[in-house]
Amino acid sequence: MARERRGYRMKAVIKKKRTKGMAFVDVPIPKIGPRDVLIKINAASICGTDVHIYDWTRWAQHRFTPPRIIGHEFVGDVVKVGDEVTRVRVGDRVSAESHLTCGYCYQCNNGNSEVCRNFRLLGVDHNGTFAEFLALPEHVLWKNDQDIPDEWATIQEPFGNAVDTVLSEDVSTKTVLILGAGPIGLFAAGIAKACGASLVIISDPNNYRLAISKKMGVHIAVNPRKQDLVQTVLEATHHNGVDVVLEFSGNNQALDQGLKVLIPGGRISVLGIYERRVNIDLNKDVIFKKIRIYGVTGRKIFSTWYKTSRFLSSGLVNPGPIITHQFPLKDYEKGMKLMKDGKCGKVILMIHDEHKRR
């Protein structure tokens, strides 16, 4: 707690105003309540949500209220616990579920806390992880497996998105189309391969990320601006189409193409977020084909975290190729620019200098 003793201040990235941009500032180290813990952040990763907030997009304007420290993906060490904390101790290495749930609404009481009616989102409704210290309630913490290095531990939250999207149903021996090769789509490729998918096809207009997908075991990488995605998928599947579509792009045209190449009786899982209303031929592409659609938000708390931890600690999925850049916290804007330009996979912010790549 050397930093805490030196004036009780810390460095943080904060969205101060309702306009584009953020600020790297000194702010007070957060105080904790009786059921809270104080965490020294070792590493935090940048999510597309953080970029939306930085750019002050239409979504951010309707969802985010400044001032707020942003970020929701992290790994860190517990340095202080409240008087009523019983499950974690000082020195525990933790990450956290980014949906801060109430624990008592209908959804929470029926095992669907990922859609808690009263949830607060870390880095949106609660000060986030782009800071040297973070205060969180004990019940959202996840103790990390010691075999998972910091750079991997910090991506467990988005990795869990991919786990639930892929494993909405079994993918063993199935043919799979992934729409969108952002970091979560790339995680999904590795998960689908680890779970025995017989054919994995990915589509994205970004050649940089398509190259990463090949390192994750994808069989066919398609740039839809240069290739006919529907024709490519049909030729690769003997004109049957794919058994499973995993939609991460949030693009209406990609969704429409995915439904068209999905076999009758197939399954599509949708995590992508759409800026506007989606137009699809519901009769032809869903009802008459008997398609099963799964909407995915967040992760199942905490069952998905167990799966994520085991994928990473066992080596079944190696996310190393997806983690392309690391910067100190003060250089967060470099990471934001790479994200916006599509010239990166996952970007990690190293908060404390003593935590380097292992």
Torsion-angle region of 136 (φ positive above 0: left; ψ -120 to 50: alpha; else: beta)? beta
| CA dist., res. 336 & res. 329, Å (int) | 12
Geometric angle at alpha carbon 69, from 64 and 70, rounded to 5°? 65
| CA dist., res. 161 & res. 188, Å (int) | 9
CA nearest neighbour of 162 among 265, 315, 300, 45 = 300
| CA dist., res. 144 & res. 136, Å (int) | 16
Whether 304 is catalytic is no
User: Of these residues, 19, 52, 72, 139, which one is catalytic?
Assistant: 52
- Listed in sequence order, the residues at least 6 apart from 68 whose beta carbon sits closer than 8 Å to its beta carbon are 14, 15, 123, 124, 127, 128
Q: Are the C-beta atoms of 23 and 13 separated by less than 8 Å?
A: yes
Q: Cα 115 to chain center, whole Å?
A: 16
Helices 156-166, 183-194: axis angle to 10 degrees equals 60
User: Of these residues, 49, 129, 154, 308, which one is catalytic?
Assistant: 49
Q: Are the C-beta atoms of 328 and 350 separated by less than 8 Å?
A: yes
| CA dist., res. 136 & res. 122, Å (int) | 9
Cα torsion 313, 139, 188, 239 to 10°: value is 130
Whether 238 is catalytic is no
Q: What is the 3-state secondary structure (H, E, C) of 256-311?
A: HHHHHHEEEEEEEEECCCCCCCCCCCHHHHHHCCCCEEEECCCCCCCHHHHHHHHH
Q: Cα 269 to chain center, whole Å?
A: 15
Active site members = 49, 52
